[in-house]
Chains A and B, each alone.
Chain A
Amino acid sequence: DAMVIQNPRYQVTQFGKPVTLSCSQTLNHNVMYWYQQKSSQAPKLLFHYYDKDFNNEADTPDNFQSRRPNTSFCFLDIRSPGLGDAAMYLCATSTRQSSYNEQFFGPGTRLTVL
């Protein structure tokens, strides 16, 4: 089945220790998104790619970076995680062809910062 895969599902890191979360998709979608979701809050868009074009949200901290080496893969790098970065990180994809196409989500990576 075509899908969005996130690894790892659970990540524990120490305060200030860099961490990388990965996302892959078999849907061949042009657009990939990273969201941060904290308990009882809406998913917060961090950035998205349209193909290789990177779009950063104005309020995404510089601590968060992303890479998309090819259509299938996208990475979220947190350079110096703080306690406030503990959250669920969601990867999603969509096609650019039409705005009525929905997003497809991965299962998320739950990040714990000690």
Chain B
Amino acid sequence: AQSVSQHNHHVILSEAASLELGCNYSYGGTVNLFWYVQYPGQHLQLLLKYFSGDPLVKGIKGFEAEFIKSKFSFNLRKPSVQWSDTAEYFCAVRPSTGTYKYIFGTGTRLKVLA
């Protein structure tokens, strides 16, 4: 069955610390990959996405993610977090063909201490 795993459920960092959130998926075919962020009281919004080409993609607010096909991973990174990055982060996968469905991970709740 298709699934997405986010191993870190809660992460607490101090400002300026580096961030890496793990995302692994289980699917045999070609996929498109997404990271969404949900700030407190706000709706889910796209942080970045990968569909082809350079496996290192850059998103908004200094975030980037690297697609490693051999590891079925799409980890999110930021070199230096800010208090305003406190949010919940969701990894999602959509198979490239045959479906309109997106599969979400359980999310990682990030708290950045000022």
- Once the chains bind, are B43 and A103 in contact (CB under 8 Å)? no
Encode B91-112 as 1/0 by CB contact (under 8 A) with A: 0101111001110111101000
Q: Is B17 an interface residue (CB 8 A)?
A: no
- Compute how far the CA of A31 lies from the CA of B45 in the bound complex, rounded to whole angstroms: 17
B83 surroundings in chain A (CB, below 8 A): none
B109 surroundings in chain A (CB, below 8 A): 40
Give the number of A-B contacts (CB < 8 Å).
Answer: 59
- Once the chains bind, are A102 and B34 in contact (CB under 8 Å)? yes
Determine which of A42, A50, A99, A107 lies in contact with B43 in the assembled complex, contact meaning CB atoms within 8 Å. A107
- Compute how far the CA of A45 lies from the CA of B104 in the bound complex, rounded to whole angstroms: 9
Known contacts A41-B106, A100-B49; A94/B43 CB under 8 A: no
Question: Can you list 27 contacts pairing A with B, beta carbon distance less than 8 Å?
Answer: A4-B43, A33-B100, A40-B9, A40-B107, A41-B107, A42-B106, A43-B44, A43-B90, A45-B101, A45-B102, A48-B100, A48-B101, A50-B100, A90-B44, A92-B44, A94-B102, A96-B100, A99-B97, A100-B49, A100-B51, A102-B36, A103-B34, A103-B92, A105-B36, A105-B45, A106-B43, A108-B43
